[in-house]
Structure 1
Amino acid sequence: MAKLPSCIKRRSTNTYILSALLGALVAVAVVAGIAVSLAPAHISFTVANGRIISRPEENNPNEAPTKYYNITMVANNKSRRTKVQYSSLSIQIWFNPTGWVPGEANLTAGELAEWQRPGKATSFPILTKFFDYNNEVATISESGDEQLDDTEKSRISWPKCLVLVEAKVWFRFRLVATRQYTVRASCYPVDFERGVTSPINCTS
């Protein structure tokens, strides 16, 4: 049986090595591209609406109406390729350096429960009672204190409130989804007494 010349063997071996290297480089490039596409830094927040409203109690229509903070948070997915899904979105409305009111968006129904397409701005209406706090929770909590520094505390003065946002999200590029990320931002000043007349950009 005839043997292949040694030069042909070397050429075949080199071809296999080059093919393996190219395959590895392509795999690395794909993984790197997905990692960049799924980066959580693409999410930003704005306050589109913020005011105080009064509503009569359904069970006690003869009593004085209840006051609510009515706020609309907008999450902007600036990515051109990555989808995002929100697991939760909660806020803290700080009306003075030691007092805050909690609020949370309802994400269980409608389009808010679905994956949001790239480049989309998603609105989250939140309604929370104006007096939904007491002496115990109206102090800086362990979780809240980690998010506020001395500079932020010093500038809070009613009616100029500070709104802290925390969203838990997943990102997806094509068929690949990430682990859950936590995205936080702070929004100031939010004047609920006079009402928000133009969007307020939040900082991460």
Structure 2
Amino acid sequence: MAAIIIRRTWSRWSVQQRIFAVLLVALAATAIAAGISVSLAPARISFSVANATTSRIPVEGSPSLLNSFYNLTLVANNTSRRTKVRFAAVSAQIWYSATGYVLAEEVDAAAALPGWRSPRDVAGVAVWAEYGQYDEKANTAASNANKTGKELDAEKATEQDCRVVVEAKVRFKYGLAVTMPYNIRVSCLHVNFSSSANVSAVQCS
């Protein structure tokens, strides 16, 4: 009879141990999942616009015709202390009015921002957008008569504030874990492409 009691006591204690072990495993799994979730939360990537200027380049075969361009440097700053970031695509729009904009040439992210960017990494990428054509020989009145409203508005924008909209598709990496792609869209306000106002970088939000 005593032996039976001992076996039953040991059996009950074994069940308690198993329950305790299961609880410990569950708590550990929850903690690990929470840690991964926090670590893989998207890092804050800060964008800014620097070196905003305009330029005119002669058209090949017609030196009196000049193509007009917006030029800027797009600065991407991975402010995370631990998370790496990889850029799959980067593009920009330059809004010179409430309804008018030009699309910048898409950035070759694989070449300009290759591989996984380290935490605290800051990278600058040259961006440009063509907004019109200028006839150097024609006088101002004749030249303006041949331009579209969009081209005239764009030229006026070189002396006033513009809005640069940046779009990026990125992945984040923490250790060996990699997130799904995230789409980021920010606006950079009060970007002035006139040389006299090109003083400091404009932060995006």
TM category, shorter: 0.7 to 0.9
- Which residue is 2:145 aligned to? none
CA distance in 2, matches of 1:63, 1:72: 28
Aligned-pair identity in percent equals 38
Matched residue pairs, number? 180
Task: Select 2:21's aligned residue among 19, 22, 25.
Answer: 19
- Which residue is 1:189 aligned to? 190
Q: Give the greater-gyration-radius structure (CA).
A: 2
* SS state at 1:122 partner: strand
- Which residue is 1:199 aligned to? 201
Q: Summarize the Cα distance change of 1:55–1:201 in structure 2 as closer, same or farther, 3 Å threshold.
A: same
Q: Summarize the Cα distance change of 1:157–1:24 in structure 2 as closer, same or farther, 3 Å threshold.
A: farther
The answer on whether the counterparts of 2:88 and 2:110 sit within 8 Å (CA) in structure 1 is: no
Q: Summarize the Cα distance change of 1:129–1:29 in structure 2 as closer, same or farther, 3 Å threshold.
A: same
CA distance in 2, matches of 1:116, 1:86: 8
Q: Summarize the Cα distance change of 1:29–1:60 in structure 2 as closer, same or farther, 3 Å threshold.
A: farther
1:76, distance to aligned residue in structure 2 (A): 1.6
* SS state at 2:132 partner: coil
Q: Does 1:42 align with 2:44?
A: yes
CA distance in 1, matches of 2:158, 2:125: 25
CA distance in 2, matches of 1:39, 1:122: 21
Question: Given residue 23 of structure 1, which amino acid in structure 2 is its aligned partner?
Answer: V
- Which residue is 2:54 aligned to? 52
**Unmatched tracts of structure 2, length 5 or more:** 134-147, 151-156
The answer on whether the counterparts of 1:96 and 1:158 sit within 8 Å (CA) in structure 2 is: no
Q: TM-score, normalised by structure 1?
A: 0.77
1:116, distance to aligned residue in structure 2 (A): 0.7
Question: Given residue 168 of structure 1, which amino acid in structure 2 is its aligned partner?
Answer: K
The answer on whether the counterparts of 1:97 and 1:157 sit within 8 Å (CA) in structure 2 is: no
How do 1:101-140 residues align onto structure 2 when only pairs under 5 Å count?
A: 101-103=102-104, 104-109=106-111, 112-131=113-132
Q: TM-score, normalised by structure 2?
A: 0.77
CA distance in 2, matches of 1:73, 1:164: 11
- Which residue is 2:91 aligned to? 90
1:54, distance to aligned residue in structure 2 (A): 2.6
Moved over 4 A (4+): none
* SS state at 1:119 partner: coil
The answer on whether the counterparts of 1:82 and 1:117 sit within 8 Å (CA) in structure 2 is: yes
RMSD across aligned positions (CA): 2.5
The answer on whether the counterparts of 1:72 and 1:125 sit within 8 Å (CA) in structure 2 is: yes
